[in-house]
Amino acid sequence: MTTLDTGQQTAPRASFFNDPVIRGVIYQVVVAALIISFILWIIGNTAANLAAQNKTTGFDFLWRTAGFDISFSLLPWSRASYYWEAFLVGLLNTVLVAVVGIFFATILGFTIGIARLSTNFIVSSLATIYIEVIRNIPLLLQLFFWYFAVLKAMPAVRNSFELPFDSFINQRGIMIPRPIPDEQFGFVWLGLALAVIGVVVLRYWAKKRLEATGQRFPVFLTSVAILFGVTAFVFWISGASVAFEIPVLERFNFRGGLQLPPEFVALAFGLTIYTAAFIAETVRAGIQAVNHGQTEAAASLGLKDADRLRLVIVPQAMRVIIPPLTSQYLNLTKNSSLGAAIGYPELVNVFAGTSLNQTGRAIECIAIVMLVYLTFSLLTSAIMNWYNARVKLVER
């Protein structure tokens, strides 16, 4: 029996060091070793310098008494509080202004971005002027403007401007009524949580129904009805109530209500105005990235302008908007550290400023602050990447 010669020959095997796979592994191991060696050298050099200066290291200072005042705090604070409590105060203040800024910057940015594409010349021109002016002025200068030129120029307490809903504004900030729920209001929060779970289930069911039958279910209106109806029903049957403590002007200051200090107002307003300009450009680019044929197809179906934008254009534009929008959220969170320039007690001001100066633990304080901002950034990116994966175009 003879064997057939197919003409195929086995490729010669490369030598050990010429194998691209093995060579790639060696390069990665060498680079990783160099990086680890550099980090260890930095740590050793820092420890030696600190020892030469008779400086101790460690995080034991967190359990020492801070001994300084904080002008605005969401937690109980006094001079007898500890440094770890100061860290929590600065952390919560940073989270507060970041969440408020992201919420309002998103609404304002989407509004301005859509307005810039309006066919109305005045509306589009005003949106363009807003974007070009705001994003080309440094944020720090804008914060100085809102704090010193606007809020600090307000009248004194006795001559406060009266705002709607029993609110007031003066040099010391904005005074608004403070809601005081009773003990039964916990049932309302429970009902709201159950309503949110119901809305999530409804949206999942409506999506599966649309894919199976092609029939659209009014998810938005039904969700609003569920949230409002369930919350109102639980509020009624539980007998819960909410009282509002109205700020009252006394001799030297207001008593009662909720006082928003000018530092917080200026920082939240400045971050919102500034970041919204960049979000507006992101929204404009995302909408213009949608194929014009999609708009024409939606118009041929008889959809109104608002429905065409809400149902066809924006959902497709979100695939382009989400990645740069994530960057703007991260920038807003990190830019909150500029609040130290106007005296807002956020994390950098309280912990990497006052606490660092009093304890002398620069490495520990800066490392903790860096870790916090890194955590904020990774968490925000994870949430936005999860949402981006849900709205991305699925290829079949």
The tokens of 10 are what? 């086995």
Does pLDDT of 353 surpass 50? yes
Higher pLDDT, 238 or 47: 238
What is the crossing angle of helices 314-335 and 262-288, to 10°? 150
* 34-61: average pLDDT: 81
Residue 180: DSSP 8-state = E
Pairing of strands 167-170, 161-163: antiparallel
pLDDT at 1: 47
Distance CA 348, CA 359 (A): 15
234 in any annotated domain = no
pLDDT (average), residues 67-93: 91
Cα separation, 381 vs 22, in Å, equals 34
Residue 314 sits in a domain whose CATH number is 1.10.3720.10
pLDDT at 211 over 80: no
Residues 52 and 89 in one domain: no
- Reduced to 3 states (helix: H, G, I; strand: E, B; else coil), residue 188 is helix
Write the pLDDT tens digit of every residue in 142-191.
999 999 999 888 888 888 888 888 888 888 888 889 888 888 888 888 98
Domain boundary (56, 74, 98) is at: 56
Residues 273, 372, single domain; the answer is yes
Number of domains composing the chain: 2
**CA–CA separation, 93 vs 98, rounded Å?**
9
In a domain, 271, yes or no: yes
Q: Give yes or no: residues 169 and 35 share one domain.
A: no
Hunting for tokens 């500034």 — which residue is that?
A: 274
Instruction: Tell me what pLDDT residue 17 has.
Output: 63
Four-CA torsion 358, 364, 366, 368, nearest 10 degrees: -120
Model pLDDT, residue 372: 93
> What CA–CA distance (Å, rounded) separates 316 from 318?
5
273 and 329 housed in the same domain: yes
Instruction: Please determine, for residue 269, whether its predicted confidence score (pLDDT) is greater than 50.
Output: yes
Q: Indicate whether 52 and 97 sit together in one domain.
A: no
- Would the pLDDT of 203 be above 60? yes
Q: Average pLDDT for residues 33-44, to the nearest whole number?
A: 88
Measured between alpha carbons, how far is 335 from 312 in angstroms, rounded to an integer?
34
Judged against a pLDDT cut of 70, whether residue 12 lies above it is answered with: no
Residue 182 lies in a domain: no
The mean pLDDT of the chain is: 86
Domain with 46 in it:
27-56
166 with 268, same domain: the answer is yes
| 16 part of a folded domain | no
> DSSP label at 13?
P
Note whether residue 301 is domain-resident. yes
Contacts of 335 (CB under 8 A, 6+ apart): 139, 271, 274, 275
Question: What is the value of pTM for the model shown?
Answer: 0.81
Claim to verify: residue 165 and residue 289 sit in the same structural domain: yes
Residues in the chain: 396
One domain for residues 151 and 44: no
Based on the domain organization, do 88 and 51 belong to the same domain?
no
